[in-house]
Structure 1
């Protein structure tokens, strides 16, 4: 075999921040502080401070291959840790502070974190965690000297700004194998312990390239991007990396994620691209509606984490904003698909566009998808057949961290996502359910996601969940559990009638329950396990 005669340079995360400094050094990074104040600096400033932090981490004993934990909001210091930790060959472990205490204990110990950096708002949480984390030899408060506590139970607590300020910005990023581990994120752990997903430099850079493409985020040096999706989970959908790769203006919202705060950032910073889960955009749209406001600079929102109701797509369009659905998982880095239309869809007008936007999208280059039946046999991509969704690609998990390869993967290398989906001939994928959430009634499947999306179109509904409940005749029947918008009313009969003509009659739910709020996981997903537990002894009407 004859090889090509091209330079063999490793794909490393440090190359992203170097590129941003050299060619987009004056590009802005805007970060909202915990007190609401706005901090501004540039990609050149971020690169300089990242080199200082790299020197500091080496000085306190962090070695290549060590896991270093972070517990922080979307802010500029957290961005610096992304690059400094991975850049020296260590592993950046972003800790989801929204998990239960015992889950955080588990993942920090399982990862064997030796250093943990945390925001000032998590000081109390850090002190609660400390007794159960014997491997942590150094705690770093991500703040200034003035924010350091006078008295604390944390041993060897250091000040982030002191560390950065006391070290030189002269640092040469080391070169190493691009397959070296770069970062670590744990799943939200809806059942059992959270599982670790260990990313590499290669997978991260490839993911940043692919997710930047026009049919994905469509990121460029002309973008001003607001990642509301948290940096403590799934690497902020890779935006901290792809923003540097493209030299985009980056706006980090801190811990203020309400509709009013997000609206203010969008308007004042001229954000034209934003990303987050549906709840964020429902709150933003509600804020606009209540205050008769319009979204002026925003041109595109990328929405993922759960299915998007059609009503949200329409409301965004009324503001001149294109909505793209993203499907992904922690195990897929996370971007797998994006619901971007093709040239041929132009002729179909708005109806054709809405049909595409209602899907979870088609695969990015590098991601392969298929659906299989219960025996593992591939099913046709005809938009009709639905089965278990499997994926593979260069930024898809090969096995979980510190675990043997298991049933999550097939013998021929496909990853079982746990989703039930349809695929059409163009690759557009539509999730019909999670394997564990599909409702089986009379031997047939009913899509809980479709039932939820329809009801979300009712003007009185703020949130809806469809759950399969044990039934004496039909095995399971669907029950809708709903939250009403403030000041709105709706009856059980009215909501059931809302389904008329939209689905097959036998799909129509048998009951509706009204609640103040629905249970969610640490990452904002509905906890249907808890809902099923609550409805275990449900009394059917009549």
Structure 2
């Protein structure tokens, strides 16, 4: 075999921020801080501060391979942690503060985090679980001396004081590109959360894919505001992708309400953003209630759970293009992105909306299979159902501290996503359901996602969940659990009438239950297991 004669330069995250500092030195990073004010600095400043932080980590006695946890909002200090920790050969372990406290304690201990970096917001949370954090040697509060809290936590350190003591030059190690640089735990809706270790190589390849025109479509002329949190799946890779192209970064901090997001969108002239449907629903409702528009925003990426067609249509009416995407913690997370092909030009409005409502096509670097119960590939006809399997350069091959990965047992070499999907000849995938949420009635599958999308199309519905309830004759039948918009009124008969002609009669839910709120997971998805419990009660 004849080997190529290219340089063996490793793919390391450090190279991304170095590139931004050299060639986009004065491009801004804007952050709404937990302390309140808007903070501004540049990629050149971030590079210098990341080196100060890397020196501070060494001064704290941390070694390559050590896990360093973060409990923080999207902000400039969190960005510095990404690069200083990973670039030093350690693992930046981002922790989702929306998990239950006992889950957070489990995650910190399972990862064996030695130091935690925390925003002011999360100090009370850490105080509540301090006695359970076995191996944590110090907690660094991500603020300055003037805002340091009075706290019972031991070994509390000030972020800005640590940086002030260190030089802004660091001798970055030449790491193997397969060295772990990041870590994120699954939300743990069933069993304990599981840790996914990202490598430098996977992080860079994923970021390159994220920048593609058919994905986030990022360039040096863009202004990117990631609403999706940096504490979960690396904010979909944006903290690496935006500096890679030199795009201006805007961080929303802890304020994710419609008014606060709109203020930043307009003041900073944001062009690209990304987040989960629950955030965008709140923003759209705020815009409508206040008669506001979106001046510069051109593309919003929506993932985390299925985006209702109604939401895509509402953004289109505001002149904003929606990128429907799919991924998981285990896929870094981007796996599918939905942009039309050239042959779709001139498509009528209804067909265009139907296409945009699918989760998308595989990004180059990701391979998919859709298989039946016997592991045989189903036809790519857009209607045949099957289990979604995935593999690729940024797909996890196993979980941290778990000897055998159950996600790979059924089809070795492939990751079992737990999604039931269809795929057409062009590769467009539509998620029908989670394998654990699909409704099996009389031997036929009913998509809970389809039923939910139809329900939220009713103007009086704020949110809806479709679940299976036991049925003596059919095995299972669909039940709708619905939250009505404030000030609106709705009857069961009015809502069920919406389904006529949109799905087969046997797919129409048997009943509707109205509730004040629906439970969600820590990442904003409907918590179907809890909803089933509530329905049973």
1:380 partner SS: coil
Map 1:404-423 onto structure 2 (within 5 A): 404-409=403-408, 410-423=410-423
The separation in 1 between residues aligned to 2:27 and 2:355, in whole angstroms, is 34
Aligned to 1:336: 335
Cα-to-partner distance string for 1:446-480 (whole Å, 9 max, x where unaligned): 00000000111111111000000111221111111
Aligned to 2:5: 5
Map 1:227-306 onto structure 2 (within 5 A): 227-306=226-305
- State whether residues 12 and 201 of structure 1, in contact with CA within 8 Å, keep that contact through their aligned partners in structure 2: yes
- State whether residues 139 and 156 of structure 1, in contact with CA within 8 Å, keep that contact through their aligned partners in structure 2: yes
Shift in CA distance, 503/250, structure 1 to aligned 2, threshold 3 Å: same
What displacement does 1:146 show?
A: 1.1
The separation in 1 between residues aligned to 2:149 and 2:348, in whole angstroms, is 59
The separation in 2 between residues aligned to 1:437 and 1:455, in whole angstroms, is 17
The separation in 2 between residues aligned to 1:268 and 1:406, in whole angstroms, is 47
How many residues were matched structurally?
536
16-25 or 353-362: which moved more? 353-362
The separation in 2 between residues aligned to 1:193 and 1:158, in whole angstroms, is 30
What displacement does 1:35 show?
A: 4.2
2:86 partner SS: helix
Map 1:431-510 onto structure 2 (within 5 A): 431-510=431-510
What displacement does 1:411 show?
A: 4.3
1:392 partner SS: strand
What displacement does 1:3 show?
A: 0.8
- State whether residues 420 and 432 of structure 2, in contact with CA within 8 Å, keep that contact through their aligned partners in structure 1: yes
Cα-to-partner distance string for 1:358-401 (whole Å, 9 max, x where unaligned): 10000111000111111111111111111100000000010111
Aligned to 1:32: 32
Map 1:13-24 onto structure 2 (within 5 A): 13-24=13-24
The separation in 2 between residues aligned to 1:239 and 1:80, in whole angstroms, is 14
What displacement does 1:36 show?
A: 3.5
Aligned to 1:540: none
The separation in 1 between residues aligned to 2:348 and 2:44, in whole angstroms, is 44
- State whether residues 120 and 149 of structure 2, in contact with CA within 8 Å, keep that contact through their aligned partners in structure 1: no
The separation in 2 between residues aligned to 1:72 and 1:154, in whole angstroms, is 17
Aligned to 2:60: 60
Matched, 1:161 2:160: yes
Aligned to 1:217: 216
Cα-to-partner distance string for 1:290-331 (whole Å, 9 max, x where unaligned): 011111111110000111111111110111000111100000
Aligned to 1:200: 199
What displacement does 1:52 show?
A: 0.3
The separation in 2 between residues aligned to 1:37 and 1:491, in whole angstroms, is 46
1:347 partner SS: coil
1:117 partner SS: strand
- State whether residues 345 and 352 of structure 1, in contact with CA within 8 Å, keep that contact through their aligned partners in structure 2: no
- State whether residues 35 and 147 of structure 2, in contact with CA within 8 Å, keep that contact through their aligned partners in structure 1: no
2:516 partner SS: coil
- State whether residues 470 and 536 of structure 1, in contact with CA within 8 Å, keep that contact through their aligned partners in structure 2: no
Cα-to-partner distance string for 1:379-427 (whole Å, 9 max, x where unaligned): 1111111110000000001011111233311444010000000011111
What displacement does 1:228 show?
A: 0.3
What displacement does 1:533 show?
A: 1.3
The separation in 2 between residues aligned to 1:260 and 1:11, in whole angstroms, is 40
The separation in 1 between residues aligned to 2:536 and 2:319, in whole angstroms, is 44
CA RMSD of aligned residues (A): 1.0
340-349 or 184-193: which moved more? 340-349
Cα-to-partner distance string for 1:149-205 (whole Å, 9 max, x where unaligned): 34x322211100000111000112211100001111000000110010011000000
- Could you tell me the TM-score, scaled by structure 2's length? 0.99
Aligned to 2:93: 93
- State whether residues 182 and 198 of structure 2, in contact with CA within 8 Å, keep that contact through their aligned partners in structure 1: yes
The separation in 1 between residues aligned to 2:351 and 2:514, in whole angstroms, is 35
Aligned to 1:47: 47
What displacement does 1:218 show?
A: 0.4
The separation in 1 between residues aligned to 2:34 and 2:59, in whole angstroms, is 29
The separation in 2 between residues aligned to 1:297 and 1:242, in whole angstroms, is 20
Cα-to-partner distance string for 1:189-240 (whole Å, 9 max, x where unaligned): 0011001001100000000001110011001101101100010000110000
Structure 2: gaps (5+ residues): none
- State whether residues 34 and 119 of structure 2, in contact with CA within 8 Å, keep that contact through their aligned partners in structure 1: no
2:407 partner SS: coil
Aligned to 2:427: 427
The separation in 1 between residues aligned to 2:123 and 2:479, in whole angstroms, is 42
- State whether residues 346 and 353 of structure 1, in contact with CA within 8 Å, keep that contact through their aligned partners in structure 2: no
406-415 or 464-473: which moved more? 406-415
What displacement does 1:352 show?
A: 3.6
The separation in 2 between residues aligned to 1:350 and 1:497, in whole angstroms, is 24
- Could you tell me the TM-score, scaled by structure 1's length? 0.98
What displacement does 1:536 show?
A: 2.3
Aligned to 1:372: 371
The separation in 2 between residues aligned to 1:404 and 1:199, in whole angstroms, is 17
The separation in 1 between residues aligned to 2:351 and 2:495, in whole angstroms, is 28
The separation in 1 between residues aligned to 2:315 and 2:2, in whole angstroms, is 53
Moved segments of 4+, more than 6 Å: none
